Amino acid sequence: MSTILELQGVTKAYDQYTVVDNFNLQVTMGELRCLLGPNGAGKTTTMDLITGRQKMTSGKVIFNGRNISGMTEHRIVQQGIGRKFQIPAVFKDLTVRDNLQVAFTRTTNPFMNMVEFGRGGGRARLQEVVELVGLEKRLDELGGNLSHGETQWLEIGMVLTQNPKLLLMDEPTAGMTEQETQKTSEIFNRLKGEHTLIVVEHDMTFVREIADIITLMHLGKTLAEGPMDEVENNPKVREVYLGTEGISDAA
Amino acid sequence: MSVHDFWTPFALEPFISALIIGLSLASIWLVAALGLTIIYGTMGVINMAHGEFIMLGAYITWVLQYFLGFPWLLCLPISFVIVAFIGWLVERGLIRHLYDRPLDTLLATWGVSLVFIQSIRLIFGGEPQYIDTPEFLSNVVQIGFLNIPSMRIFIFGMALVLVGLTWALLYKSNFGIQVRSVMQNPQMAASFVINSSRVYGLTFAYGAGLAGISGSMFSGLKTIFPDMGLGYVVEAFLVVVTGGGELFGSLATAGIMGEMFSVFSYFTNDTFARFVLFVLIVIFLRFRPQGIFTPSMARR
Amino acid sequence: MHKTNLYHDKRAQWAVYAIFFGVLALLPVWMGDDPFTLNQYARYGVFGILALSVSLVWGFGGILSLGQGIAFGMAAYGMAATMQMQYQDPVNDPIPSFMLTNELTALPTVWEPFWNTSVGLILSMGIPVLFFTIFGILIFQARLAGAFVAIMTLAMLGAWYNMAYDMQPFTAGFNGISPPSAFKAFGVEVDPYSSMIYWVSLGVLAALTVSTKLLLQSKFGTIIQAIRDDAERARFLGYNVAFYQVVVFALGGLIAALGGMVWVIIVQYVSPTALEIFFSITIVIWAAVGGRMSLFGAIFGAIFINAAQSYVGDEFQATWFIILGTIFIVVVRFLPKGLAGLFEYAISFVPNPLPAPRTSVNSDIAK
């Protein structure tokens, strides 16, 4: 199995403190990796550094055999990385249909898109995604009128429409009902293999359902890594979370 | 127009005069920008009616002097109070409803400015008006080879006084603590029983009052007319934005801009100098959109 | 079962355009062909073009430019230079008279290309677009947005105003340039007091409106609206946001520039007033009152406000501007989508009489 994403000594430091500290990560093609850790452990920052949203202080990100550190955000995305934000972000004044159409990026060139009138390409993909996330009946609704759960679905749908090799999901089930969460885990389980996913999540039931390998972050570093059971029984983890119910409580 | 006409060669004495003019210009821009700095810096509001607050200050001075015979110096504090009150009304009636829509504030205050300009034109007519200043501010002070109008020295001094007062108000007074805490975190401030809506109202009023007093001062320098505000507001905005909405940012920016303008226009001419200055500011903001002093922030 | 508001039905929108331009085309028939009236109407057409540019850039692109006058003014000066040089004679009278009064003894180099009408037209259009592209790159690469862009465009406009005002030997300064003869191209003279001027103005307005409408219905149009809503989200879908913004900004410049060219053909005059801050913000008011998020709304706003203004007449101008300012404040405060938004709301109560469009996912109806 080949490595699709590799972080080498990635560091993000502000004047006084270091948010991500010499962090290393290797993700295998087709894997679903969960990134856990308490608030401030550096999970979202790590995603920011991978996608170029923040500039790293030092270190290297290798994606698909290519050094992507220092590239602008849209270039990184074009390499095949999709991202769902922690606070769900959709285009509020566009319909669900248009949201998904914008996400279907056969070309990102403005001049090419001037002569693209939405016919042909992408129809099958949109149909597929819409059914997957269950927004068939909401296609003409404005993004801003969706419920919280639907907004999450739409953003997941947009990232799927992009069809990236690597999907970064920042808290995809936040604000979802139990059934919705259940459905999300089904989808994620279907996606892995074909896609590679990195998921930041706090819902441990959900993590148990989907994760192959867990990376537990603490103060910007890897505290433990491995399958769920192994991480839970790791003495270092027990030490850090002494007196609590373990990582489920911390997360 | 030959190159020779366009380019003035260097000579010491006129160059020093240019530097002095630069200082004077800087103080005028600073006074014009001060109220805007407070309003933009603390509330994030781009007040397009600021130039009209200046204009109102000038007209209040003129009315007080022309109809009621008030001495010029007494008009300054009165302008401050009246324009501050008008500003407070504008904040109450309009701006407070638009705090989460900064772009709309800009547009709405442009509407306010239109209404002010045309109301004044309707009441007092469009022709320029003149103001009598006290004897000691109407003469010219001679220092060596320099002839400096005493009004310009007065404005320079007043600029420093107003910056000092504003600094004391923002950083030394109880009100200033409230302003800054509301600025940093409105919800948190509310939990300490700070009435943020009152603080916003008073801050806006204070900023407007500063514009009023600067209008009074400018009335001693130039003629006053209904759309005089436009002549100040663009420079004032540039001072504020380049200074990052900080009091000392505005102070430094006004100084640098004034001197650069004056030196450029010494070598070339006013218009060309203004053009070069504006272009330089646009390029500067390209690289430091957060202004000169504010530390660079992480991207959203 | 389709509940789409008729307002959003593309077929209805195109029908409205067809009716609107049809009515405008018939206007000379009803109103007679009084040359002064036609000239007046032609001017309204240019105001419509300017509002169109604001609607595209601000309403759909989310970029509040207070500097549309830069493109308008530059193009107007270019056009005036072209028309002036059509009048001059290369041998006997090569130098425009205002230059002679400014003691110029030779035609300035920057004026030379304007001897050729085609080159003059290309420059009038191309230079504003080039300037907006460079200026746009400066602004949008720095990820400036919102009020920042408004202030920068305003400052730039102020700088150009000063240039036009002060470069007297080149621009005739305060007095402005008034080319003595009407514009001629391809053997046709466009008399500014004839029905031809009305057709030129209306034709350019209609062509630009249809092109812009088509542009907005393309994927490009959807993407710029997406960027307006949430630039960061669009960026993380792989779009070079700054590139799109520069293109929109430059296209807005192109539209305003074409407006400036038609303007000079109509009025045979240009002065620094074309670059006044007041004028540029007034364009924004037209678009805002009519409805910036609707091309038709913006154009309608421009024409309606100007027609009302001339009806009120010059003697009540101050009162008129007080009313306009007040309307503008009310619109900004309560009607961010302008009159078009009000109409959208009203018509949502009327059932859509048109047959339901195809209901496939990718159906391009119901935008």
All structural domains of chain A with their residue ranges: 3-250
Task: List the structure tokens of B218.
Answer: 């400018």
pLDDT at residue A245, rounded to an integer: 53
At residue B177, the pLDDT reads: 84
What is the least distance, in Å, from the CA of A54 to any CA of chain B? 6
For C329, the closest of B108, B118, B281 (CB atoms) is: B108
Q: Which among B106, B113, B271 has the least Cβ separation from residue C147?
A: B106
Element at C130 (helix H, strand E): helix C117-141
Please, which residues have CB within 8 angstroms of residue C231's CB and are 6 or more apart in sequence?
C143, C145, C241
Average confidence score pLDDT of chain A:
87
Three-class DSSP labels, C312-342: HCHHHHHHHHHHHHHHHHHHHHHCCCHHHHH
Separation between Cα atoms, residue B271 and residue C228, nearest integer Å: 36
pLDDT at A193: 82
CA distance C113 to B207: 51
Distance CA C283, CA C55 (A): 10
Instruction: Identify which of C104, C318, C333 has the shortest CB distance to residue B97.
Output: C333
Q: What residues have CB less than 8 Å from C206, skipping those under 6 apart? A: C21, C24
Q: What is the 3-state secondary structure (H, E, C) of C164-177?
A: HHHCHHHHCHHHCE
Q: Give the model's confidence band at C363: pLDDT under 50 very low, under 70 low, under 90 confident, else very high.
A: very low
| Residues in A touching B299 (Cβ below 8 Å) | 53-54
> What percent of chain B has a predicted confidence (pLDDT) above 70?
92
Q: Is the dihedral of CA B151, B156, B157, B162 positive or negative?
A: positive
Residues of C in contact with A156 (CB under 8 A): none
The answer, for B4 touching chain A at a CB cutoff of 8 Å, is: no
The alpha-carbon gap from C239 to the nearest alpha carbon of chain A, in Å, equals: 6
pLDDT at C309 exceeding the cut of 50: yes
Q: What is the complex's ipTM, to 2 decimals?
A: 0.90
- Nearest chain B Cα distance for residue C306, angstroms: 16
Residues with Cβ within 8 Å of C217's Cβ and at least 6 positions away in sequence, in order, are: A117, C10, C364, C367
Taking the C-alpha atoms of residue A150 and residue A137, their distance in angstroms, rounded to an integer, is 11
Which of C332, C334, C337 should one mutate to test binding to chain B, selecting the residue with the greatest count of B CBs within 10 A?
Answer: C332
Hey, is the C-beta of A183 within 8 angstroms of any chain B C-beta? no
B299 and chain A in contact, CB less than 8 A: yes
pLDDT digits (tens, 9 = 90+) for C139-185: 998 888 888 889 889 989 988 998 898 888 888 888 899 998 888 88
Q: Is C225 on the interface with A (CB under 8 A)?
A: yes
Q: Is A54 on the interface with B (CB under 8 A)?
A: yes
Q: Do C333 and B112 touch (CB under 8 A)?
A: no
The chain B residues in contact with chain C (CB within 8 A) are: 1, 46, 94, 97-98, 101-104, 106-108, 110-115, 117-119, 121-122, 227, 230, 234, 237-238, 241, 269-272, 274-275, 278-279, 281-283, 285-287, 289, 300
Distance between B238 CA and the closest CA of chain C, angstroms: 8
Q: How far apart (Å, rounded) are the C-alpha atoms in residues B204 and B84?
A: 8
**Tens of pLDDT along C266-279?**
999 999 999 999 89
The CATH label, of 3.40.50.300, 3.40.50.10190, 3.50.50.60, 3.30.56.10, for the domain at A3-250 is 3.40.50.300
Q: Which of A213-217, C282-286, C354-358 is predicted least confidently?
A: C354-358
C99 pLDDT exceeds 90? no
pLDDT at C3 over 80: no
Cβ–Cβ under 8 Å, residues B107 and C328: yes
Instruction: Give the per-residue pLDDT at B204.
Output: 94
Measured between beta carbons, the chain C residues lying within 8 angstroms of A92 are: 229-230
Shortest distance, CA A92 to any CA of chain B (angstroms): 16
Q: Nearest residue on chain B to C138, judged by CA atoms?
A: B286
In Å, how far is A58's CA from the nearest CA of chain B? 16
Distance CA A3, CA A6 (A): 7
Q: Assess whether pLDDT exceeds 80 at residue A223.
A: yes
Across the range C121-140, mean pLDDT stands at: 95
Task: Give A176 to chain C, closest Cα distance, Å.
Answer: 21
- Answer whether B286 sits within 8 Å of C332, measured CB to CB: no
Q: Where are the beta strands (DSSP E) in B85-125?
A: none
Q: Are strands A166-170 and A81-84 parallel, antiparallel or unpaired?
A: parallel
Amino acid letter for position B278: F
- Sequence-distant (6+) residues with CB within 8 A of C21 are C202, C206, C209
Nearest to B115 among C169, C278, C326 (CB): C326
Which chain B residue is nearest to residue A53, measuring alpha carbons? B299
Question: Structure tokens of C234?
Answer: 């669009």
The length of chain C, given as a count of residues? 367
Residue A149, pLDDT > 50, answer yes
Could you tell me which of C263, C227, C323 has the C-alpha nearest to residue C40?
Answer: C263
Distance CA(B180)–CA(B171), nearest Å, equals 8
User: Distance of CA B260 to CAs A42, B70, B268, B277, Å?
Assistant: 45, 38, 12, 7
Give the Cα separation of B209 and B235 in Å (integer).
19
Q: Which residues of B touch C102 (CB under 8 A)?
A: 1
Q: What is the pLDDT of residue A33?
A: 92
A226: left (phi over 0), alpha (psi -120 to 50) or beta: left
Q: Which two tokens stand for residue B48?
A: 């397009």
Q: Nearest 5°: CA angle at C128, between C127 and C130?
A: 65
| Structure-model confidence comparison of residues C25 and B84, the more confident one | B84
Q: How far is the CA of B212 from the CAs of B52, B121, B216, B236, C239, in angstroms?
A: 9, 18, 6, 14, 47
Nearest CA to C224 among C203, C254, C193, C246?
C246
- For residue range A58-78, list pLDDT tens digits in order: 999 999 999 999 899 999 999
Contact of A53 with chain B, judged by CB distance below 8 Å, is answered with yes
Residue C215 amino acid letter = L
The mean per-residue pLDDT over the stretch C30-57 comes to 91
Nearest CA in chain A to B297: A14
Q: Which of B78, B73, B223 is nearest to B133 (CA)?
A: B73
The span from the CA of C237 to the CA of C229, in Å, is: 14
Buried b (16+ CB within 10 A) or exposed e, C305-323: bbeebeeeeeeeebebbbb
pLDDT at site C31: 75
State the DSSP code for C60: I
Report if residue C103 sits inside a domain: yes
Would you call B1 an interface residue with chain A, using a CB distance cutoff of 8 Å? no
**Other chains touching B, judged by 3 or more CB pairs under 8 Å:** A, C
Whether C281 and C325 have beta carbons less than 8 Å apart is answered as no
In angstroms, the CA B101 to CA B95 distance is: 10
pLDDT value of position C1: 37
> What is the C-alpha to C-alpha distance for residues A214 and C149, in angstroms, rounded to an integer?
45
Residue C63 has pLDDT above 90, yes or no: yes
* Subunits with 3+ C-beta pairs closer than 8 A to A: B, C
Q: How confident is the model at residue C364 (pLDDT cuts 50, 70, 90)?
A: very low
pLDDT for residue C365? 37
Q: How far apart are CA A160 and CA A82, in angstroms?
A: 8
| A-proximal residues of B, 148-167, CB under 8 Å | none
Query: Does C226 sit within 8 Å of A85, measured CB to CB?
Result: no
Question: Distances from the Cα of C36 to the Cαs of B283, C32, C196, in angstroms?
Answer: 46, 11, 12
Q: Report pLDDT for C348.
A: 82
- Residue C231, pLDDT score: 93
| Run means of pLDDT, 10 residues per run, chain B, 300 residues | 64 85 91 91 88 96 92 93 96 89 88 94 90 83 83 91 92 85 72 78 94 92 89 88 88 93 88 85 80 51
> Model confidence at C97, in pLDDT bands (50, 70, 90)?
confident
CA distance B136 to chain C (A): 34
Q: Which of A74-88, A148-162, A185-199, C343-357 has the lowest mean pLDDT?
A: C343-357
**Would you place residue C235 in the very low, low, confident or very high pLDDT band (cuts 50, 70, 90)?**
very high
Cβ neighbours of B146 (radius 10 Å): 13
Shortest distance between the Cα of A23 and any Cα of chain C, in A, equals 23
**Where do runs of H (alpha helix) occur along chain A?**
43-50, 73-80, 96-103, 110-114, 123-133, 148-162, 178-191, 204-210, 228-232, 235-240, 247-250
Q: Would you list the domain boundaries of chain B?
A: 17-287
Q: Do C234 and A130 touch (CB under 8 A)?
A: no
C325: nearest CB among B111, B227, B234: B111
3-state SS, residue B63: helix
The whole-number pLDDT of residue A173 equals 87
Whether A57 and chain B come into contact, CB under 8 Å, resolves to no
Band the pLDDT of A249: cuts 50, 70, 90: low
Q: Are C230 and C27 in contact (CB under 8 A)?
A: no
Task: Please check whether residue C128 lies inside any domain of the structure.
Answer: yes
In chain C, residues with a C-beta closer than 8 Å to the C-beta of B108 are 328-329, 332-333
Asked if residues C143 and C245 have their Cβ atoms less than 8 Å apart, the reply is no
Helix (H, G, I), strand (E, B) or coil at A8: strand
pLDDT score recorded for residue B296: 44
Mean pLDDT, chain C, rounded, equals 89
Distances (CA, A) of B186 to B174, B207, B300: 16, 20, 20
Set of chain A residues whose Cβ sits within 8 Å of the Cβ of C240: 72, 74, 108
Residues of A in contact with C220 (CB under 8 A): 110, 113-114, 116
Residue A167 reports pLDDT greater than 50: yes
Residue range C232-252: mean pLDDT, rounded: 95
A14 chain-B contacts, CB cut-off 8 A: 298
C 231-260 near A (Cβ less than 8 A): 232-241, 243-244, 247
Tokens of B23: 């200082």
**Cβ–Cβ pairs < 8 A, chains A and B:** 4
The answer to whether the Cβ–Cβ distance between C321 and B282 falls below 8 Å is no
Q: Quick one: pLDDT band at residue C67, thresholds 50, 70, 90?
A: very high
Comparing CA positions, the residue from B111, B32, B122, B105 lying closest to residue C281 is B111
Range in A212-216, C2-6, C333-337 with the lowest mean pLDDT: C2-6
- Residue C151: the pLDDT is 86
Rounded CA-CA distance A114/C53 in Å is: 17
For chain B, give the mean pLDDT.
86
The β-bridge relationship of strands A196-200 and A166-170 is: parallel
CB-CB contact of B196 with B189 (8 Å): yes
| Total tally of structural domains belonging to chain C | 1
Rounded Cα distance between C275 and C69, Å, is 5
For strand A32-36 and strand A196-200, is the pairing parallel, antiparallel, or unpaired?
parallel
- Distance, in angstroms, between A72 CA and closest chain B CA? 13
Predicted confidence at residue C325, as pLDDT, reads: 93
Tokens for C164?
């036009």
Q: Which of C236, C248, C337, C360 would best serve as a mutation to test chain A binding (most A beta carbons within 10 A)?
A: C236
